[in-house]
Amino acid sequence: MKPSLLELLRCPDCYGSLALRTRERVDAEVISGTIHCSGCGARFPVVNGVPRFVSGDAYTEAFSLEWNLHRTTQLDRVTGQSDSEDRLRRTLAVPLEELKGKLVLDVGCGTGRFADVVLRHGGRVFGVDLSFAVEAAQANLGWHPDMHVVQADIFRLPLRTDEFDLVYSLGVLHHTPDCRRAFAELPKHVKPGGRVVITVYAASNKVYIASTTFWRRFTTRIPKRMLYRLMHVAVPLYYVYRMPGLYHLGMAVFPINMDRRWRWRVLDTFDCYAPTYQSYHTYPEVFRWFEEEGLTDIRVNEPAVTVSGRK
């Protein structure tokens, strides 16, 4: 971690200010040490350059596995493609060029695929994740002077309130035990005039939801590594589903990701069948959440369900 991160950190228990005791340092980066709260005396370790405000990855074991096995699969700067940039451009209500110099909070950052895009457009990013995906994010982007990675829970964020120009959480809230309550944590950290943007799973495709819900009763109980191996057996169904007349039938019986790149198919099919929590939502429902939190200038966007609002 960079010592400058401390300015934005607050104790997740009492909101007290924090002090850092460094044990090991490489250049400007603190590799290990302890963060102390001056208010309540709580201590939080810094391990492998990442401050840890949780004692483990709780219910996010699947993400700890998938993002470390697929550390760079979706990272534009490694793939040389622009999937993440294109997706972020469609998702945010502001042009990416406007991110220059902005303070951005990426909640549930995973490997940092979107943080990477923000950094390339001159933003300063705080990536938070509950899982050990933070190891992947730190390896991918921790070297960047404007990147800060923190392991923490959205329900107990160790960050100053009213601080960020932009807070986004893409593909995350529906994987928490309470999507609505998780959403309520985000506006607190946006400064007045800043924006909150979220993407959650859409409740529109009833057949897909019924089928994945059925299979998830079994798949979520399979040890994660075994399930990951099974995905390699499942994703060749791609070639079957592409045969004339078989797509809709196949996707109704056993949905898989249909990306043409097999590593993306394995990753996104695992991402559907492995996580402990998964919920689905509608545009009117999410729009109402924004209204209830007092946000204004609410806009609906793509991919479904993406909504943004101003504080």
Ligand X SMILES: C[S@@+](CC[C@H](N)C(=O)[O-])C[C@H]1O[C@@H](n2cnc3c(N)ncnc32)[C@H](O)[C@@H]1O
Interaction site with ligand X (CB under 6 A): 60, 63, 67, 108-110, 113, 128-131, 133, 153-155, 170-172, 175-176, 271
Per-position DSSP letters for 63-112, written without gaps between them:
HHHHHHHTSSTT-HHHHSS-HHHHHHHHH-SS-GGGGTT-EEEEET-TT-
C-beta separation of 182 from 78 below 8 A: no
By the 10 Å C-beta count (0-12 exposed, 13-18 middle, 19+ buried), 189 is classed as buried
Q: What Rg, from alpha-carbon coordinates, does the chain have?
A: 20
Which residue number, 125 or 154, has a Cβ lying nearer to ligand X? 154
Pairing of strands 190-199, 306-310: antiparallel
Pairing of strands 164-170, 103-107: parallel
The nearest distance, CB 202 to ligand X, in angstroms, is 14
End-to-end CA, the chain: 29
Handedness of CA 149, 274, 271, 201 (dihedral sign): negative
Structure tokens at 193: 């005039």
Q: Where are the alpha helices (DSSP H) in the chain?
A: 61-69, 76-79, 83-91, 113-120, 133-141, 179-185, 206-219, 224-234, 237-241, 247-253, 262-273, 283-292
C-beta separation of 111 from 136 below 8 A: yes
Encoded amino acid at 241, one letter: Y
The nearest distance, CB 66 to ligand X, in angstroms, is 8
The nearest distance, CB 60 to ligand X, in angstroms, is 4
Which residue number, 231 or 250, has a Cβ lying nearer to ligand X? 231
The span from the CA of 31 to the CA of 24, in Å, is 5
Which residue number, 125 or 133, has a Cβ lying nearer to ligand X? 133
The nearest distance, CB 116 to ligand X, in angstroms, is 10
The nearest distance, CB 54 to ligand X, in angstroms, is 8
Which residue number, 228 or 250, has a Cβ lying nearer to ligand X? 228
Which residue number, 250 or 264, has a Cβ lying nearer to ligand X? 264
Which residue number, 246 or 301, has a Cβ lying nearer to ligand X? 301
The nearest distance, CB 85 to ligand X, in angstroms, is 13
The nearest distance, CB 187 to ligand X, in angstroms, is 16
The nearest distance, CB 6 to ligand X, in angstroms, is 20
Which residue number, 274 or 295, has a Cβ lying nearer to ligand X? 274
Which residue number, 126 or 250, has a Cβ lying nearer to ligand X? 126
